Amino acid sequence: MGWLVIVALVLFLLTSSNVQQVAERIITKTQQQMSQVVKNFKIPSLADRYETTVPTSKSSQSQKQQSDVRGEKATPLESNVKGKTLKNVYYYRFASGTPEKVRREFLSAVKAYNATKIVKLVAGTGTQKQNQIVFSIYDTAQKGQAGVIELGVGGPVIIQQTGWDAYTVNHAKASLNVHYVQSVRLSVAMHELGHALGLDHSTDRHSVMYPVDQGRTALSQADLAALQQLYS
Ligand SMILES: [Zn+2]
């Protein structure tokens, strides 16, 4: 039970920016305990690189939306959720400072994922032992190749506790890069929320998990199959 109290204290301290130094000291002290609790901790990194090159025209987008469900390539799962048993209920919230227009896109994405009935995303904070998603924004100018823009990041953060009190939860994150207006779109929110829930990049253009934004806002049959695999 000792580590639980410490973890709660660290989390509390981390949220108060004026006591960061104290938090850092405590983190160093409890690093060993933490490593026992967090078995598989994947920080959603900028490596996601959900990108767009040039905006595609409206007409070509609507043509692409008519997906042929047959012959779709499977949507893979993020490596850190493979083989894990996760409950299908998530509590989601917005980080402070998340603009209204961004909230709107994420809420539409939440609605779309809830419509699948495979996962259930509920507004709220949730407890340490419950799945959570935090939606947020960041502001980063592109550093990669010319004409390539990073639109967002997202991913699962798996916390696995073993022993008598065993549980596995996902405290996920999904974030839009507000440096670019192209990021604040439902298709980008769908993609980053997909990562948060454990979906990895797909090579299939019908998937919302295709790594280049095509304006796709509907989950493909392969996307649904991947969610089903993970949450049932
Ligand atoms: Zn991605």
> How far is Cα 179 from Cα 183, in angstroms, rounded to an integer?
8
Give the per-residue pLDDT at 55.
39
Are residues 12 and 45 located together in one domain of the fold?
no
Are residues 64 and 141 located together in one domain of the fold?
yes
Q: What is the CATH number of the domain that holds 212?
A: 3.40.390.10
Are residues 212 and 188 located together in one domain of the fold?
yes
Give the per-residue pLDDT at 33.
38
Are residues 80 and 68 located together in one domain of the fold?
yes
> How far is Cα 64 from Cα 52, in angstroms, rounded to an integer?
15
Owning domain of residue 28: 1-37
Give the per-residue pLDDT at 214.
93
> How far is Cα 182 from Cα 130, in angstroms, rounded to an integer?
32
What distance in angstroms lies between residue 181's CA and the mean position of ligand 1's atoms? 17
What distance in angstroms lies between residue 136's CA and the mean position of ligand 1's atoms? 16
Q: pLDDT tens, position by position, for the chain (232 residues)?
A: 555 555 554 444 445 545 444 434 434 343 333 333 443 334 444 345 556 543 333 333 433 433 445 678 999 999 999 999 999 999 999 999 999 999 999 999 999 999 999 999 999 999 999 999 999 999 998 766 667 788 999 999 999 999 998 999 999 999 999 999 999 999 999 999 999 999 999 999 999 999 999 999 999 999 999 999 999 8
Give the per-residue pLDDT at 48.
57
What distance in angstroms lies between residue 148's CA and the mean position of ligand 1's atoms? 14
Our measurement of the distance from residue 83's CA atom to the centroid of its chain's CA atoms, rounded to an integer in Å, reads 18
What distance in angstroms lies between residue 196's CA and the mean position of ligand 1's atoms? 10
Are residues 44 and 28 located together in one domain of the fold?
no
What distance in angstroms lies between residue 17's CA and the mean position of ligand 1's atoms? 29
* Cβ-Cβ contacts under 8 Å for 145 (sequence gap 6 or more): none
Are residues 29 and 113 located together in one domain of the fold?
no
Are residues 76 and 22 located together in one domain of the fold?
no
Beta-carbon count within 10 A of 64 CB? 14
Backbone φ, ψ for residue 169 (5° rounding): -135, 165
Give the per-residue pLDDT at 148.
79
What distance in angstroms lies between residue 39's CA and the mean position of ligand 1's atoms? 23
Closest CA to 78 of 180, 188, 165, 155: 155
Got the DSSP string for 172-196?
EEEEEETTSGGGSSHHHHHHHHHHH
> How far is Cα 59 from Cα 33, in angstroms, rounded to an integer?
55
What distance in angstroms lies between residue 28's CA and the mean position of ligand 1's atoms? 32
> How far is Cα 173 from Cα 131, in angstroms, rounded to an integer?
11
Are residues 1 and 99 located together in one domain of the fold?
no
Total structural domains within the chain: 2
Are residues 43 and 7 located together in one domain of the fold?
no
Give the per-residue pLDDT at 51.
60
Query: How far, CA to CA in Å, does 50 sit from each of 4, 9, 73, 85, 88?
Result: 35, 34, 19, 27, 25
